[in-house]
Chains A and B, each alone.
Chain A
C-alpha cells in the first residue's frame, strides 16, 4: 500500500508514565502486521496498524511462553474486535483490551498510542 505523502512524516507515539514516547515513523507500520519497540526501561511493545489505519500497542512478550514475539503474529478481527494471534501457539489477544480471547485468565498490558 502506498501512503499519501502528507502522512509519511507522521510519528507513532506511545503514552508512558512520563509522557508521549516517539517510536517510529507511521510508514514503518505495514497494515495487518506489527513491529516490536524497545522502551527506555527495557520493556518491549508490539505495535500494530489495521486496515482502517487504527493503531494498537500491547506488550510484546507472549504471555504463555515469555518469548518476545507478539509483534510477529497475524492480526484479524473477531466479532468486530481487533486481535493478534501469538505466532507460537496461536492464542489470540484482543488488541484494545489486552485480554486473551482463548484464556479468560490471561491479559497483557496495553499502551495508549497516537500519531503526531
Chain B
C-alpha cells in the first residue's frame, strides 16, 4: 500500500514518545495540522505516555493514567497515528519512509523522535532470562510479572533511573541491591559529600549499595535463568533478577542507515533549528538528537524545547523564530523517601565560584550551594531535604535576596530562612520540564482565572512533567489568589489587563505618547475605542508625563489630550477642598523663604481672603480659593518668583531641610543647599505616588530624612542616602542605600533610584511598599541602581536628565495660555458668577468653609428629572 501525497504537504513523525507528542501539539498550535497531512509511526503498542512518571505505575497508576495522548486531539487534527508500526527504512532521495507493516509514506518533512534505548553493558549472559531494562510500560509489566517468583533483585547502575528502579524492586517486595561502577551514587548529579549522605539514606531504606565495582558476568542456572552476578572485585552476588540501568544511548540506527550524520558517541546531528545537518528535509528532536551544542539531552524539558523549535522552523514563522542552543540539567529524584536534587552548576565548574556546604551525615543531610563571586547562585545539590529545590532552582542565575547560608541551614539552626516563591522574579522558571515561568503561572491565575492547581496545570502544563515543581506551584497559586482575594485580575483596571509597570514598558519601548493610542492598541477587548476610566487615565497620564521628553509628548500636563487624563486636582493645578474651593501651595524649596516672599504670600492671602497654614512639609498652604480666582492668585505668585509646589500631583512634594552646617553648631554639611538642589532637580517629576524627601545636616536628623521616600543625612565625608521611608498610615523607617557619597554620586544614585521606582512601581504604591514588594527588596534595588546589575542605569540617568532639562512651571504656562485659562471659570455660561454654594464663615480670625451652605437646595436622592 502506498500513501501518495496529494496537494497537501506531508509531515512524517517517527516515534510517538513524550517529545513526539509535544511536537504534534506544537504543530496543532501553529495550525500546521490544518495545512499538512501528518503521519505518525509509533513503535510501542500504545500511544505516547508519561515516561517520566513510569515508576508511579508501581504505586498504583495504570498505563491509562500515564497516557499523554488525547485521542480526541489526534482525531480533531486528522493525525494519522499508526500504533505498533515502527519505521524500518528511510529513502531520503525519494523522501519515503517504509514501516514494518509495509506502509509507505512519502514525506516533505521527516521528524525523527525515536528517543533512546537503555544501554546494557556487554557482559556474558546479559540477555538471560531474568534480565530486564527499565524504559517502557512493557518493561515494567515484565519486571512485575517476573518479580512474583523472585526474592532478590539487583539494579546495575546507581544513577537517577537506577535508584528509581531499585526503589521499584524494593516496592515489589524484593531484597534489593544496587551495583554502581562509580565511587558514589548518582555520580552525574551529586558530588562526594552528597553521595555519602545519599548512601546513608538509601541504606536506611533497606537497599544494599555496592559502589566502585563493575558487573563482570551474569551467572545463570541450568534453566538459563539468572541466579547471580560476578563483580569486578571478585565477589559474587546472588540475585534472581537483574535490571540494567546503566545509562541510555540515542536511538539513531534508522538515521545511520539512511546516511544522516551522527555524533561520535551517537545522536543525530542537528543545528539550532533541530534540522539535521545532513538533510534539510529531516529533523531530529528529543533524546535521539545531538543538539547544536554537542550534547544529547536525556531529560524531557530540553526535548520539549526542541519540539517547539522544530515546529516553529517548519512553520517558517518569521516573527517567532525559536532556536535550541542548550538547556539546564536540573533534576530532582522522585523516589519516595529520598530527597535528592541537583540544579545548575552543581559541581562548581564555574571559575572562581565558592561553595556553601551544610552537611550532617548522621541525619543523611547534605546541602551545597555554588555561589559566584558576585553572589549569584550558580547551582547546588540537596540530599536528604530538598524542600528548597523549587525556590533555589528558580533563583539560579540571580543573587538570592537573603544570605545563601540561611537557605541551606536546617530548620532550627539559627533562623531558618523561609524564602517563599513570592521572592522569585517573574521570569524565574518554576517548571523546568515545561519551561513555565513564574509570570506565566501568575498569569494563569490572573488572566485565565484559574483558581486551583489542577486548573493551572491544565492551563500552563506546569507540574505535568516530573512533578517536582508542584509544591512551589501550589504556593504560588495560593499566594496569588490570597493576594487578590476574589478579584484575581492583576490588570490595572477594567480597561487594561496589564500592570502599571507593563504599561510603562510599553509606552517607553514603543514611544506611545497618547492615551487613546495605548487604549486602542493595548486595552482589553471591550475597552478599546472607549473612554477609559478614572483609574487608568491618570495612571497613563502620569506615565506619559514622566517620560514626556523621551517619548515625544508635551511636558505640560494640560496639553491636548493630556488635560483630559489628569486627576481633578492636577487638572486644576490645585487641591480641591470639601466645599468645592481650592488650596494653593507654592513651592518653597528646602523650606527656605525670604521675608519678601513671605510678605507676598501674606499679601495674596489677605487680598483674596484665604486661610493660611504652615504645612507639615515646611511650606505655606492657602485655602479657600474659588476656581476662577486660581489664575489670578498664580499670576501674582509667579510674578514674585514662586512656582507650583505640586501639592496636587503624584509628584515630588517637598525636600525638607534642617538649617544645617551654616548655622547649626553640629552640622557637618550644608543641608539647605543640598535640599534646594534636590527639590529643584526633581520638581514636577510625575511618579506612581507622591515623593517626599529631606536632608539633615547631621545624624541628629532634625529633618526626619529617614521617614522620606529618599532621605539624605550628612556625614563628615559626604552624604548617606536612605530610601523607602514613609510617614502616613503605615510609617516605615528608610533603609540605608549607600554611604559617604559625594554630591555628584548622591544625585546620580537618586536619579537612578527614582527612575527605577517610576518604572516598576504599581499605581499609588509609595516607595516603602514598593521596596517591600519587590523581589529581593533593598538588595535588589542596590544591585540595580548601585551595581547596575541590569545594565539600565545609563538609560535611567538619561530619562532623568531629559526630565530635568525639560521642566517648566505649570502655573506659568497656564496663565500664559488664554485657551487653558478659559477652563478656570465657575460656569461655562456665566463665568463671572461665583458658585453660590462656595461660602465661608469666620473662625480664629480667618475663614473656614460654610458647610451648611452645601445642603441648601441640595436634594441628593431625587429621582431622575427633566427627561
A residues with CB within 8 A of B: 1, 15-17, 23-24, 28, 30-33, 35-38, 42-44, 47, 50-51, 61, 63-69, 72-80, 82-83, 85, 87-88, 90, 92, 97-98, 105-112
Interface 0/1 of B514-526, CB less than 8 Å to A: 0010000000001
Candidates B527, B827, B857, B865; contact of A36 at CB < 8 Å? B827
A110 touches B866 (CB 8 A): yes
- A74-B828 contact, Cβ under 8 Å, with A28-B822, A98-B864: no
Minimum distance in angstroms from A62 CB to a CB of chain B = 8
Candidates A50, A67, A111; contact of B579 at CB < 8 Å? A67
B485, CB-defined interface residue at 8 Å: no
B833, CB-defined interface residue at 8 Å: yes
Minimum distance in angstroms from A43 CB to a CB of chain B = 8
- List chain B residues, Cβ under 8 A from A30: 563-564, 823
Number of interface residues of B (CB under 8 A): 51
Candidates A38, A64, A85, A111; contact of B830 at CB < 8 Å? A38
Q: Please, how many angstroms separate the alpha-carbon atoms of A95 and B838 in the complex?
A: 24
B538, CB-defined interface residue at 8 Å: yes
- A61-B858 contact, Cβ under 8 Å, with A32-B565, A69-B580, A111-B866: yes
Minimum distance in angstroms from B603 CB to a CB of chain A = 28
Q: Of residues A30, A69, A90, which shows the largest number of chain B Cβ atoms within 10 Å of its Cβ?
A: A69
- List chain B residues, Cβ under 8 A from A67: 578-580, 837-838, 854
B564 touches A31 (CB 8 A): yes
Candidates B569, B829, B837, B855; contact of A68 at CB < 8 Å? B837
- List chain B residues, Cβ under 8 A from A47: 828
Q: Please, how many angstroms separate the alpha-carbon atoms of A43 and B495 in the complex?
A: 34
A85 touches B534 (CB 8 A): yes
Q: Please, how many angstroms separate the alpha-carbon atoms of A112 and B836 in the complex?
A: 24
A77 touches B854 (CB 8 A): no
A36 touches B858 (CB 8 A): no
A51 touches B861 (CB 8 A): no
- List chain B residues, Cβ under 8 A from A32: 531-532, 537, 561, 564-565
B833 touches A109 (CB 8 A): no
B861 touches A63 (CB 8 A): yes
Q: Please, how many angstroms separate the alpha-carbon atoms of A23 and B527 in the complex?
A: 31
B792, CB-defined interface residue at 8 Å: no
Minimum distance in angstroms from A33 CB to a CB of chain B = 5
- List chain A residues, Cβ under 8 A from B526: 79-80
Q: Please, how many angstroms separate the alpha-carbon atoms of A33 and B565 in the complex?
A: 9
B567, CB-defined interface residue at 8 Å: yes
Q: Please, how many angstroms separate the alpha-carbon atoms of A67 and B568 in the complex?
A: 14
Q: Which 3 A-B pairs have the closest CB atoms?
A: A32-B564, A76-B533, A66-B854
Candidates B531, B829, B867; contact of A23 at CB < 8 Å? B829
Can you sample 29 A-B contacts with CB below 8 Å? A28-B828, A32-B532, A33-B564, A35-B827, A38-B830, A42-B836, A44-B835, A47-B828, A51-B530, A61-B837, A63-B860, A63-B861, A64-B860, A65-B579, A72-B568, A73-B568, A74-B567, A74-B568, A76-B530, A76-B532, A77-B495, A79-B526, A87-B568, A105-B861, A107-B863, A108-B862, A109-B865, A109-B866, A110-B866
B contact patch SS? loop
A42 touches B864 (CB 8 A): no
B36, CB-defined interface residue at 8 Å: no
- List chain A residues, Cβ under 8 A from B826: 36, 38
Minimum distance in angstroms from B831 CB to a CB of chain A = 10
A77 touches B563 (CB 8 A): no
- List chain A residues, Cβ under 8 A from B565: 32
Which residues in chain B, 238-260, are within 8 Å of chain A measured between CB atoms? none
- List chain B residues, Cβ under 8 A from A43: 857
- A112-B857 contact, Cβ under 8 Å, with A37-B828, A88-B578: no
B494, CB-defined interface residue at 8 Å: yes
Contacts A36-B835, A76-B495 given; 12 further ones with Cβ under 8 A? A1-B561, A24-B829, A28-B822, A31-B564, A32-B564, A35-B823, A36-B827, A63-B861, A72-B572, A74-B534, A82-B531, A92-B534
- List chain B residues, Cβ under 8 A from A42: 836, 857
- List chain A residues, Cβ under 8 A from B294: none
Candidates A17, A69, A72, A77; contact of B527 at CB < 8 Å? A77
Q: Please, how many angstroms separate the alpha-carbon atoms of A15 and B866 in the complex?
A: 7
Q: Please, how many angstroms separate the alpha-carbon atoms of A108 and B866 in the complex?
A: 11
- List chain A residues, Cβ under 8 A from B860: 61, 63-64, 66, 106, 108
Smallest CB-CB separation from B515: which chain A residue?
Answer: A32
- List chain A residues, Cβ under 8 A from B567: 74, 87
A23 touches B572 (CB 8 A): no
B337, CB-defined interface residue at 8 Å: no
B867 touches A112 (CB 8 A): yes
A51 touches B531 (CB 8 A): yes
Q: Please, how many angstroms separate the alpha-carbon atoms of A108 and B858 in the complex?
A: 11
Minimum distance in angstroms from A38 CB to a CB of chain B = 4
- List chain B residues, Cβ under 8 A from A37: 827-830
B560, CB-defined interface residue at 8 Å: yes
Q: Please, how many angstroms separate the alpha-carbon atoms of A50 and B860 in the complex?
A: 25
Minimum distance in angstroms from B7 CB to a CB of chain A = 46
Q: Please, how many angstroms separate the alpha-carbon atoms of A58 and B828 in the complex?
A: 15
Q: Please, how many angstroms separate the alpha-carbon atoms of A72 and B560 in the complex?
A: 17
B511, CB-defined interface residue at 8 Å: no
B864 touches A109 (CB 8 A): yes
Which residues in chain B, 815-834, are within 8 Å of chain A measured between CB atoms? 822-823, 826-830, 833
Q: Please, how many angstroms separate the alpha-carbon atoms of A107 and B857 in the complex?
A: 16
Smallest CB-CB separation from A57: which chain B residue?
Answer: B866
A38 touches B564 (CB 8 A): no
Candidates A50, A79, A97; contact of B864 at CB < 8 Å? A97
Smallest CB-CB separation from B565: which chain A residue?
Answer: A32
- List chain A residues, Cβ under 8 A from B135: none
- List chain A residues, Cβ under 8 A from B836: 42
B837 touches A38 (CB 8 A): no
Q: Please, how many angstroms separate the alpha-carbon atoms of A90 and B839 in the complex?
A: 23
Q: Please, how many angstroms separate the alpha-carbon atoms of A8 and B843 in the complex?
A: 48
Q: Please, how many angstroms separate the alpha-carbon atoms of A63 and B826 in the complex?
A: 19
- A1-B858 contact, Cβ under 8 Å, with A16-B866, A76-B533, A80-B526: no
A77 touches B822 (CB 8 A): no
A75 touches B865 (CB 8 A): no
Q: Please, how many angstroms separate the alpha-carbon atoms of A32 and B854 in the complex?
A: 27
B576, CB-defined interface residue at 8 Å: yes
- List chain A residues, Cβ under 8 A from B563: 30, 33
Minimum distance in angstroms from B350 CB to a CB of chain A = 53
A77 touches B533 (CB 8 A): yes
- List chain A residues, Cβ under 8 A from B516: 51
Which residues in chain B, 545-567, are within 8 Å of chain A measured between CB atoms? 560-561, 563-565, 567
Minimum distance in angstroms from A80 CB to a CB of chain B = 7
Minimum distance in angstroms from A71 CB to a CB of chain B = 9
B858 touches A110 (CB 8 A): no
Minimum distance in angstroms from A102 CB to a CB of chain B = 12
Candidates B530, B571, B827; contact of A72 at CB < 8 Å? B571
Q: Please, how many angstroms separate the alpha-carbon atoms of A73 and B862 in the complex?
A: 21
Q: Please, how many angstroms separate the alpha-carbon atoms of A26 and B836 in the complex?
A: 25
B534 touches A109 (CB 8 A): no
Smallest CB-CB separation from B568: which chain A residue?
Answer: A87
Minimum distance in angstroms from A51 CB to a CB of chain B = 5
- List chain A residues, Cβ under 8 A from B864: 97-98, 107-110
Q: Please, how many angstroms separate the alpha-carbon atoms of A77 and B838 in the complex?
A: 30
- List chain A residues, Cβ under 8 A from B837: 61, 66-68
Q: Please, how many angstroms separate the alpha-carbon atoms of A38 and B565 in the complex?
A: 25
Minimum distance in angstroms from B581 CB to a CB of chain A = 9
Q: Please, how many angstroms separate the alpha-carbon atoms of A28 and B824 in the complex?
A: 12
A74 touches B538 (CB 8 A): yes
- A68-B835 contact, Cβ under 8 Å, with A38-B829, A74-B568: yes
Interface 0/1 of B250-287, CB less than 8 Å to A: 00000000000000000000000000000000000000
Smallest CB-CB separation from B493: which chain A residue?
Answer: A76
Smallest CB-CB separation from B851: which chain A residue?
Answer: A66
- List chain B residues, Cβ under 8 A from A35: 823, 827-828
- List chain B residues, Cβ under 8 A from A68: 580, 835, 837-838
- List chain A residues, Cβ under 8 A from B855: 66
- A36-B571 contact, Cβ under 8 Å, with A42-B857, A67-B854, A107-B863: no
